[in-house]
Amino acid sequence: MVWVYGFRVFFLILPLAAMGAVAPLPLLWLGGAGGGAMGAWHGHEQVFGFLAAALAGFLLTALPSWTGCRPVTGGALKAMAALWLAGRIGFWLDGVLPPWLVALLDLGFLPALLATALPALGRKERRPWEFCLVLAALIAGNAAFHLERLGVVAVAADRILFAAIDLFLVLVAVAAGRILPVTIRSALVEVGQPPDIRLPPGRRHLAAATLCLMAVAELAAPHSPVTGWLALAAACAQADRMTEMHHGAALRRPQVMLFYMAHLWMVVGLGGLGLAILGLPLDPLAMRHALGLGAAATTVLAVMSIVALRHTGRPFPLPRAVWVAPALVGLAAALRVGVPHLDPEAMGVWGVTVPALLWSAAFGFWLWRFAPWLTAPRVDGQPG
């Protein structure tokens, strides 16, 4: 059953990827392997393992709905999952396998995902050109990460990973432009208000454009004041976009509030990062965790929950249990952002170990709650 649509298999393996990406962190802080190497490993697996699986589950489901192209199913979908899994196995065996083999195992997945999206560019309407461009940039970033490990290029790995997180936030901004109208309308219906809304494209374009500039600046000059001001501009653009979701009681419905929370984390992370670059005594790495651990993960949970509901033939409202995982992730993010500033000596326990446990519990709970939907036929009898 899981091989009939992309969201089923990738949303089943994504929680496992989320847990695996943080599993070594307590060892780093409490018993300690090498910090630099482990930090790069963790960052890569969060971006090119966890977030890449989320992107695959979303795109392999959304593109057929948006463009009418055929979904990837059966053997082709199994091959996609195998490519993703090969990359994860390669990184878990990093240090046992030679770096060139780890790179070879890891570099196949995103190009395969891009290949599945390219036919949709030939459609007349709703062509996903922005997703294809960002995917191409992520492919280049992943290649640069491995080339740095092989000693071929001199760009620092952390700069590549920071720019990659920014690119995923660009995708969040773009995808929200397509998802928010549907989710806001459904929320308005739930609270008995007319579902007639129109979201002008200006806010969406500004949010995406400032994040694109931020990604370029982080890669080229991460400590420049220009980068700091661009981060503040991106924070303001996300804050401005949050006003699109102000529709009375509809804002309190989970399909809207979760996106609102994700954008709030973006404002915190981008604003804090910009101020840190400009000289305020804030921890830049903590602010980046507000972006990855807070904004990106909350968006992933929102999208997974909505897609799992709609594409298994279930109507809104979302179940109340949908709040549990974002609440745990939000608490984990708050600890990871707050502890370095309030009590740096407690980082090992309260800044790393407890957030890792909360993060794992969040995705474990989501998997427990939604796996029955993902492994069963659609309740309305439709294919998919």
Question: Which domains does the chain carry?
Answer: 2-374 (1.20.210.10)
Least confident of 153-157, 224-228, 230-234, 342-346: 153-157
Q: What percent of the chain has pLDDT over 70?
A: 97
Assess whether pLDDT exceeds 50 at residue 34. Answer: no
Residue with tokens 């129109």: 198
Report whether pLDDT(31) > 70: no
47, 178, 192, 253 from 185: Cα distances, Å: 31, 12, 11, 11
Quickly state the pLDDT bin for 27 (edges 50, 70, 90): confident
Q: What is the pLDDT of residue 26?
A: 80
* Mean per-residue pLDDT over the chain, rounded: 92
Phi, psi of 349 (to 5 degrees): -90, -60
- Arithmetic mean of pLDDT, 259-273: 97
Six-digit token string for 237: 């653009």
Query: Is the CB of residue 26 less than 8 Å from the CB of residue 347?
Result: no
CB 70 within 8 A of CB 64: yes
Model confidence over 65-115: pLDDT tens digits? 888 788 899 999 999 999 999 999 998 998 899 999 999 999 999 999 999
* Residue 281, pLDDT above cutoff 60: yes
User: Has this prediction a pTM greater than 0.85?
Assistant: yes
> Mean pLDDT over residues 280-284, rounded?
96
Average pLDDT over residues 15-34: 79
Nearest to 269 by CA among 168, 176, 156: 168
Token couple for 70: 């055929």
Among 157, 263, 249, 167, which Cα is nearest to 208's?
167
